[in-house]
Amino acid sequence: MWVSFGPRNPLENRKKVASGAWGPWNSSNAYDVIQYTVDQGFEVQAWELGNELSGSGIGTTKVSAVQFAADMKELRSVIGVLYDGASLKPLVVAPDGFFDYGWFKQFLTAAGPGGVDVITRHIYNLGPGVSEDLESKILNPNYLNNEKKNFRTVRSLLQAVAPSTVAWVGEAGGAYNSGHHLVTDAFIFSFWYLDQLGMAASYGTKVYCRQSFIGGNYGLLNTTTFEPNPDFYSALLWNRLMGITVLAASFKGALYLRAYAHCQKNTTQGGVTILLINLSKLITYKVSTVLLTAPSKTSTRLEYHLTAANGDLHSQVMLLNGNALGVTLDRNIPTLTPVQVDSSTPISVAPLSIIFAQLPDASVQICGS
C-alpha cells in the first residue's frame, strides 16, 4: 500500500508580502514531522506541499508560482537531508490546487528540471454540492467532456516543460463543499466517477485520489454505518479488472455511451477489459467488440452489469448482475461474480447502467507481455 503525506501547513509562519500573497515557506514544522517518520521507520512514498494555493487560490489566499517553486526546492532539500543515504527517496509532490495553465507553467519552469516529481490538481467540476442541477450535469456527455481539455492540457504542458514530471489528481469529489447527499454518495455518482477514472487514464494521469474514503457526502463509505456506498464497488471493480496499459476504444453515433478499454489486470494471455457507461435514460446499446490486433476466436466473456436498486439513481444500493451488493454477515466484502457470455454475441448495455466486460482470451499482443 502506498502512503503519501501532504504537509497541510504551507502557510506556516509565512509573512504576507501583499494583499492575499505570501512570502517564503517556513519548513521547520514539516522538517520535524518528516524526521519523526524517518526515525520510526515509516515507509512514505511521497511528500506533498500545498492545498489550493495555486492560480487565484481560495478567496484572497494564494502563493505565486515563483515563490511556490522556491518552496519546493526547500522541501526537496529537507528530504535530501533526512533521507541521506536512503536507496529510495520519497517523491516530491505539488501544488494540489485547481489547474491554472499560466500558474502551472510558470511554476514548473521556475522549479526547473526534476524540481518536482509529481504535479497534483483538484477536480470539482460539477460545482457546489448545493446545486440542483448535479444530476443533469452527471448525465450530460457534453458536460463531462469539458474536463477532457484540462487532462489534455496538463499532459501537453508536462511534455513541453517538464517531461520527467507526472500528473496526479490529488483530490476529486466532483461537487465541492462536501457534495450532495443521495447524489455524490449514491449510484448516480458512479457515472461521473468511473468516467473520470477512464478519462484520467486515457490522458496519462497516473494516480486519482478520491475525496473521500469516508467523510462528507462524497465518501466511499457511509459515515454512519460504514457500509460501502456504490462508488466503493465501482472503485473495487476498476482496481481488480483494469490494468495499467490503456487501449484505444472508439465508436460512432452513440453520444450517450462512454467507452474505455485497458489490458486486463494481471493478464498473461492478452486479456482486455472494457468499461461501458450508458448515460441514456431510453436507449439500450448493443456493442460488438472488434479487437484489431487479436485473432478471431470464440471464447467466453465475463460481464459485470451495474445498476441502481429499484431503478432509483439516488439509491445507495448498487446491483451487480441484478443482485444487491452489501457486506456479508461477517462484515466482509461480498464476492463480485460476473456472468459468463459467449464473446461472439454483442454486449447489451441497458439504459442508465454500467458494464465492465472482460475478454480474457482476446490475445492482444501488447497485453500479453
64: alpha, beta or left? (left if phi > 0; alpha if psi -120 to 50) = beta
Is the Cα torsion angle 247, 251, 254, 255 positive or negative in sign? positive
Is the Cα torsion angle 55, 61, 63, 64 positive or negative in sign? positive
Q: Which of 48, 147, 171, 303 is catalytic?
A: 171
Do the Cβ atoms of 320 and 303 come closer than 8 Å? no
Q: Which of 52, 135, 147, 303 is catalytic?
A: 52
- C-alpha to C-alpha distance for 24 and 63, rounded to whole angstroms: 9
- C-alpha to C-alpha distance for 312 and 187, rounded to whole angstroms: 8
- C-alpha to C-alpha distance for 170 and 118, rounded to whole angstroms: 10
DSSP state of 310: G
Cβ–Cβ contacts within 10 Å for residue 72, how many?
24
DSSP code per residue over 7-32? ---TTTT--EEETTEE-----HHHHH
Q: Burial of 228 by CB count in 10 Å (0-12 exposed, 13-18 middle, 19+ buried)?
A: buried
Known catalytic residue: 52? yes
C-alpha cell read off for 41: 521507520
List the one residue out of 256, 297, 292 whose CA is nearest residue 276: 256
- Phi/psi of residue 357, nearest 5 degrees: -115, 120
Cβ–Cβ contacts within 10 Å for residue 369, how many?
9
Known catalytic residue: 227? no
Active site residue ranges? 52, 171
